[in-house]
């Protein structure tokens, strides 16, 4: 240890021996002009589309103006100018940083929730409108027990959920209803019809068959999610929030066979949870929320298959091979959903917040910094990925490792979405019912296989389905 001496001869620690902090060794900071460009070209389009529930008109505007591609290009420029970062943004009164290096993506997600908390401030303000006790915005012991509840209920490490056989009738029956509706309407499939059918599946799987047509809960959720788009700028409608929780609590108490609500009720009765009943109920709104972008991803996945006939035929071959299975695995359709999420991220901005100062190669990040990981920057960076703008389901043939470029459709590390396998199970089997029984042609867009667009507006996508 290096020492200096005061005039009285007592040793004191030299300032040079202290570990540098964020003031003495700051991370690179963007200029005011570059900060404004990043906010305008990356943050603003992401927020305008709707971080909690999509605004269809704004999604159309971002698609038509090519703003998603501009956002990726802006961060490519920032990385070239400022290096590995992370790059602090020059915002007065607010600490915010943009991640520019793939190694840092791995590190930040692996080191969540400490020192990179999932309970980031803006996220907490957004989600408190309908799920203030959800694991995603909890920290410490509360997060640990709520996360464990989610993992148990969603079978987070199992590609085939333990209740999958009980889920399959809902998937097959609702797909058949949808196909009949399409046939009666002259063969046209639009997102509105697809979304309604998809959420009939979701309601039956999560809450029970009698909730199939419960549009009131869906509308309540959508209203509260719309308020969540404004985070702390809108007051919480506690009455509506309580109504959501009350309806879900009733479903858990009803415990309809074959539903996750029944599974939750059974596990509560057996004492498998450390969480309270109120905490358990507040995990379910997050699942209903997450199944919305899952529907978007699978619908866009149909567009990928329709524009890649060879992949479509390969998927049909797998469907036929697994036709007798109680629960088909359908790896190519699962990979198609993953590719849809990579190409057109439904969670474009992954948020973390530092719980302490964190040292990086080029400086120290202050405590209380909002950390921004813009997934499209890493998913669509043609300078580092030769498949950046192509449909490449083969990249998902194996579990991706830390050494590989970060592709994070469901996040990663301890904050990895615990429902990812359930989402892939339900979406792949729902898609199989459609492409396995009908020819499918894309009506509304022309997708160039070698150069897929930076954003695909699911709300305007239309298909023509015909008998095979």
DSSP 384-404: T-TTTTS--GGGGSS---TTS
Nearest to 338, CA basis, from 431, 233, 217: 431
Beta bridge partners of 370: 96, 353
For the whole model, what pTM was predicted? 0.94
Separation between Cα atoms, residue 75 and residue 246, nearest integer Å: 44
Within 50-190, residue ranges assigned H as helices are: 56-65, 67-82, 102-110, 121-127, 140-154, 164-184
- HSE, side-chain direction, 13 A CA sphere, residue 179: 21
pLDDT tens per residue across span 148-187: 999 999 999 999 999 999 999 999 999 999 999 999 999 9
Q: For residue 178, what are the CA distances in angstroms to 211, 222, 437?
A: 17, 22, 12
Separation between Cα atoms, residue 242 and residue 279, nearest integer Å: 13
CB neighbours (10 Å) of residue 92?
5
Question: Roughly what angle, to the nearest 10 degrees, separates helices 191-206 and 260-269?
Answer: 20
Q: Which SS3 state, helix, strand or coil, does residue 280 take?
A: helix
Locate 164 and state its tokens: 């999958």
Q: For residue 411, what are the CA distances in angstroms to 47, 157, 183, 444?
A: 19, 15, 38, 31
Question: Roughly what angle, to the nearest 10 degrees, separates helices 260-269 and 284-306?
Answer: 150
Q: Which SS3 state, helix, strand or coil, does residue 203 take?
A: helix
Which residues define the annotated binding site for heme?
A: 417
Nearest to 327, CA basis, from 453, 421, 219: 421
Which residues define the annotated binding site?
A: 417
Give all strands of the β-sheet with 462-467 in edge-to-edge order. 188-190, 462-467, 438-442
Nearest to 127, CA basis, from 237, 286, 295: 286
- HSE, side-chain direction, 13 A CA sphere, residue 305: 29
Give the contacts of 22 (CB within 8 A, at least 6 positions apart): 357, 363, 364, 365, 366, 367
| Residue for token pair 């501009």 | 70
Q: For residue 464, what are the CA distances in angstroms to 35, 296, 369?
A: 45, 18, 48
Locate 419 and state its tokens: 């429902």
Nearest to 433, CA basis, from 106, 194, 266: 194
Beta bridge partners of 26: 364
Each residue's pLDDT, cut to its tens digit, for the chain (468 residues) gives 333 333 333 333 333 345 678 889 999 999 999 999 999 999 999 999 999 999 999 999 999 999 999 999 999 999 999 999 899 999 999 999 999 999 999 999 999 999 999 999 999 999 999 999 999 999 999 999 999 999 999 999 999 999 999 999 999 999 999 999 999 999 999 999 999 999 999 999 999 999 999 999 999 999 999 999 999 899 999 999 999 999 999 999 999 999 999 999 999 999 999 999 999 999 999 999 999 999 999 999 999 999 999 999 999 999 999 999 999 999 999 999 999 999 999 999 999 999 999 999 999 999 999 999 999 999 999 999 999 999 999 999 998 899 999 999 999 999 999 999 999 999 999 999 999 999 999 999 999 998 999 999 999 999 999 999
Task: Tell me whether strands 370-374 and 96-98 are parallel, antiparallel or unpaired.
Answer: parallel
- HSE, side-chain direction, 13 A CA sphere, residue 209: 11
Q: Which SS3 state, helix, strand or coil, does residue 260 take?
A: helix
Nearest to 198, CA basis, from 114, 131, 277, 297: 297
Q: Which SS3 state, helix, strand or coil, does residue 370 take?
A: strand
Rg (C-alpha) for the chain, rounded Å, is: 24
Task: Tell me whether strands 188-190 and 462-467 are parallel, antiparallel or unpaired.
Answer: antiparallel
User: What ranges do the domains of the chain cover?
Assistant: 24-467
Kind and range of the H or E run holding 297: helix 284-306
CATH 3.40.50.1450 fits 24-467, yes or no: no
254 close to 208: Cβ distance less than 8 angstroms: yes
pLDDT tens per residue across span 407-452: 999 999 999 999 999 999 999 999 999 999 999 999 999 999 989 9
């Amino acid at each position: 240890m290096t020492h200096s001496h005061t005039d009285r001869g007592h040793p004191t620690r030299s300032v040079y021996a202290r570990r540098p902090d964020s003031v003495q060794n700051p991370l690179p900071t963007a200029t005011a002009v570059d900060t404004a460009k990043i906010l305008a070209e990356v943050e603003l389009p992401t927020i305008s589309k709707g971080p909690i529930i999509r605004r269809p008109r704004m999604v159309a505007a971002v698609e038509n103006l090519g703003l998603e591609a501009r956002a990726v290009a802006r961060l490519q420029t920032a990385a070239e100018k400022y290096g590995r970062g992370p790059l602090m943004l020059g915002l007065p009164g607010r600490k915010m940083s943009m991640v520019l290096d793939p190694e840092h993506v791995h590190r930040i997600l692996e080191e969540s929730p400490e020192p990179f908390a999932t309970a980031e401030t803006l996220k907490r303000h957004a989600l408190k409108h309908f799920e203030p006790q959800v694991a995603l915005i909890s920290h410490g012991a509360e997060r640990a027990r709520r996360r464990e509840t989610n993992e148990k209920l969603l079978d987070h490490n199992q590609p085939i959920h333990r209740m999958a056989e009980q889920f399959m009738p809902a998937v097959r029956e609702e797909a058949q209803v949808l196909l009949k509706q399409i046939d009666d309407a002259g063969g046209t499939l639009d997102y509105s019809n697809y979304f309604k059918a998809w959420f009939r599946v979701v309601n039956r799987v999560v809450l029970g068959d009698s909730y199939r047509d419960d549009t009131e809960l869906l509308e309540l959720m959508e209203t509260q999610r719309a308020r969540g788009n404004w985070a702390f700028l809108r007051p919480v409608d506690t009455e509506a929030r309580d109504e959501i929780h009350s309806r879900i609590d009733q479903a858990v108490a009803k415990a309809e066979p074959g539903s996750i609500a029944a599974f939750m009720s059974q596990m509560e009765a057996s004492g498998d949870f450390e969480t309270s009943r109120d905490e358990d109920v507040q995990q379910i709104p997050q699942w209903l929320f997450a199944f919305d972008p899952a529907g978007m991803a699978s619908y866009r996945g149909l567009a990928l298959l329709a524009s890649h006939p060879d992949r479509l035929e390969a998927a049909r071959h797998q469907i036929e091979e697994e036709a007798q299975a109680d629960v088909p695995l359908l790896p190519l359709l699962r990979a198609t959903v993953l590719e849809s999420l990579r190409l057109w991220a439904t969670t474009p901005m992954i948020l973390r917040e530092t719980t302490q100062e964190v040292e990086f190669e080029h400086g120290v990040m202050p405590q209380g910094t909002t950390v921004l990981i813009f997934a499209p920057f890493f998913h669509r960076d043609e300078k580092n990925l030769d498949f950046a703008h192509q449909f490449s389901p083969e990249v998902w043939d194996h579990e991706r490792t830390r050494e590989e470029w970060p592709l994070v459709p469901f996040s990663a590390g301890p904050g990895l979405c615990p429902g990812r396998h359930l989402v892939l199970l339900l979406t792949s089997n729902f898609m199989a019912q459609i492409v396995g029984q009908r020819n499918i042609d894309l009506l509304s867009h022309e997708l160039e296989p070698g150069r897929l667009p930076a954003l695909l507006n699911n709300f305007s996508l239309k298909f023509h389905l015909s008998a095979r």
